[in-house]
Structure 1
């Protein structure tokens, strides 16, 4: 499968780390976020045929760092000229995708069961499968919130709702069929003025497409603020888990 990685963001909330660095190149434990994404994708059972990386802010920094391959896997770059949301960014990759593909947001650090998402879509031949995570209800409104039926299928996705229908949220790793591109073209700007990926997903659902939700086993950190970077580094070093174990035994 090909893997699309969205890495066009400026990362204004990560300042001062992004004053002269694109968000995807912010280092966590000595590696850029984008390198963590590539490594997680290469660790899957499914071979990555090609990375399609969507760049934008300070794109040349990313292109010069990675050039045209990562660990012998070719990289194709597409350019999101304006920051108009994730659905808008995804559409820049359409011409390079002709089959089912993986999608990862380039600001996440994962140590989780990503391979289960790929296997579920391949085995069930659904139009999409998402890795989802339960969060406290008071935090759910920060994310794309999913509502599921008794079969574990997603029946609704709402972007950053004031009154979340559940506490199950999208994590930033997905598999899609090419049907997502048609849905993304139908998306209208949200109240934030962006073309939301969650709205494209909701259009897929309303058209009768099936989307499976796979609950996360492991952890992920969405690196949106400087303190998130610190949390990711602690988790990668094992310190966060050690602190939990210590608290549980005391």
Structure 2
């Protein structure tokens, strides 16, 4: 079984931070977002991983992610010339996947649920596909699955009259049969090749699709608000010793856990926390900061921040 991570989206909702880098390379709890997907695949014993990116992002990913040697895996970069949807990204991976089965993840998603059930659905249960589903309160806003026993019998995008409250979370397992589907479907009204259409094609042509229901948190880090939410979530799940810190470089400062501060950063007369992540080589003086992300290299003085994301070039909301 192989792994596939789709990262070729434009990340427009995370602009201006995604102007100069892929959104999946932005840090969550001081670690590039894509690392969480890599670790999820590696935890399943997967050692061959494809990452679908835009051609212009090749050097950026090779610098930040590399070839996988640090994880003991082999990473292959695959290219999607235009962001034409997840199913199109899967199509670009066909030569890499070959006849193998694979786990598909979206690079901007954070999923704490084990994906072992999806893996077993393919390798043990001999299903042709498997999806991770999550219960939602507003199913009209999601792609929704209709289920019957352990099978998905239909998918509907943002239904007016939902047949369930089970939304597609963004983790999938497939056999190579999915390539028949991605070649057969047409673009949707928004001009993209939708993975839901490809799965519906499989269902309509007699292929069996299973599912697992998420019982642990998940989110897509697609907006500044969700980026902040993801940092709060990761701080809450980290061991206390990682989010409580007493470095000598924090002169006259009060640290209110949970926080995560890179040891290369310096604080003077600050009140930091809770729910603050501070990246490398940051200098703060006379600042009060809560529920915020301060990215690498930022220098701030005499300010109060809450619910903010600050980089060298940008701030949301502006300060």
What TM-score do the two structures reach when normalised by structure 1? 0.89
Q: Which has the higher helix share?
A: 1
**Residues 1:145 and 2:137 are matched in the alignment:** no
Considering only aligned residues, what root-mean-square deviation do their CA atoms show, in Å?
A: 1.5
**Residues 1:107 and 2:108 are matched in the alignment:** yes
Contact 1:22–1:58 (8 Å) recurs in 2: no
Cα distance in structure 2, aligned partners of 1:168 and 1:105: 18
Structure 2, unpaired ranges of 5+: 238-319
Aligned pair count?
Answer: 234
Cα distance in structure 2, aligned partners of 1:93 and 1:109: 22
Contact 1:27–1:33 (8 Å) recurs in 2: yes
Structure 1, unpaired ranges of 5+: 240-250
The 5 Å alignment of 1:12-27 reads 12-27=12-27
- Residue 103 of structure 1: CA displacement? 0.6
Q: Which residue among 136, 157, 160 is the counterpart of 1:159?
A: 157
What is the match of residue 10 of structure 1? Answer: 10
What is the match of residue 211 of structure 1? Answer: 209
**Residues 1:190 and 2:208 are matched in the alignment:** no
What is the match of residue 125 of structure 2? Answer: 124
**Residues 1:180 and 2:178 are matched in the alignment:** yes
What is the match of residue 63 of structure 1? Answer: 62
What is the match of residue 85 of structure 2? Answer: 85
Cα distance in structure 1, aligned partners of 2:106 and 2:93: 14
Cα distance in structure 1, aligned partners of 2:91 and 2:159: 24
**Could you tell which deviates more after superposition, 183-192 or 48-57?**
48-57
The structure whose Rg is larger is 2
- 3-state DSSP of counterpart to 1:154: strand
Contact 1:159–1:196 (8 Å) recurs in 2: no
What TM-score do the two structures reach when normalised by structure 2? 0.70
Contact 1:9–1:57 (8 Å) recurs in 2: no
What is the match of residue 246 of structure 1? Answer: none
**Could you tell which deviates more after superposition, 175-184 or 161-170?**
161-170
| Distance 1:59-1:160 versus aligned 2 partners, 3 A rule | farther
**Could you tell which deviates more after superposition, 97-106 or 60-69?**
60-69
What is the match of residue 244 of structure 1? Answer: none
